[in-house]
Amino acid sequence: MNRESISGSSYTGRFAPSPSGHLHFGSLVAALGSYLDAKAAGGRWLLRMEDLDTPRNVPGAAEDILSTLEGYGFQWDGEVTWQSRRQSLYREALERLKGAGLVFPCGCTRREIADSRTGHVPGSEVRYPGTCRHGLAPGRQPRSWRFQVPEGEVFFPDRVQGRIVQDVAAAVGDFVLQRADGLFAYQLAVVVDDAEQGVNRVVRGADLLDSTPRQIALQRALGLPAPDYAHLPVAANATGEKLSKQTKARALAGLRPQAVLATALEFLGQEPPAGLEEASLDEFWTWAVPHWDISRVPGRHSLSAPEGFG
User: Among all residues, whose Cβ is closest to ligand GLU?
Assistant: 50
**Nearest-approach distance from CB 174 to ligand GLU, in angstroms:** 21
Beta bridge partners of 229: 158, 202
Taking the least distance from each CB to ligand GLU, the nearer of 16 and 102 is 16
Report, in Å, the least distance between residue 290 CB and ligand GLU.
25
Quote the CA–CA distance of 271 and 79 in Å, as a whole number: 32
Which CB atom, from 94 or from 190, has the smaller least distance to ligand GLU?
Answer: 190
Residue with Cβ nearer ligand GLU (26 or 272): 26
The long-range contacts involving 260-264, CB below 8 angstroms and separated by at least 24 positions, are 260/25, 260/28, 260/72, 261/28, 261/32, 261/72, 261/288, 263/25, 263/306, 263/309, 264/25, 264/28, 264/29, 264/32
Q: CB of 50: closest distance to ligand GLU in angstroms?
A: 4
- Residue placing its CB nearer to ligand GLU in the complex, 276 or 297: 297
8 Å CB contact between 220 and 51: no
For 257: left if phi > 0, alpha if psi spans -120 to 50, otherwise beta; the answer is alpha
Question: Applying CB under 6 A, which residues contact ligand GLU?
Answer: 16-18, 50, 190, 204, 208
Spatial CB neighbours of 223, under 8 Å, sequence gap ≥ 6: none
One-letter amino acid of 191: V
CB of residue 271 vs ligand GLU: minimum separation in angstroms? 26
Minimum distance between the CB of residue 191 and ligand GLU, rounded to whole angstroms? Answer: 9
CB closer to ligand GLU out of 143 and 231? 231
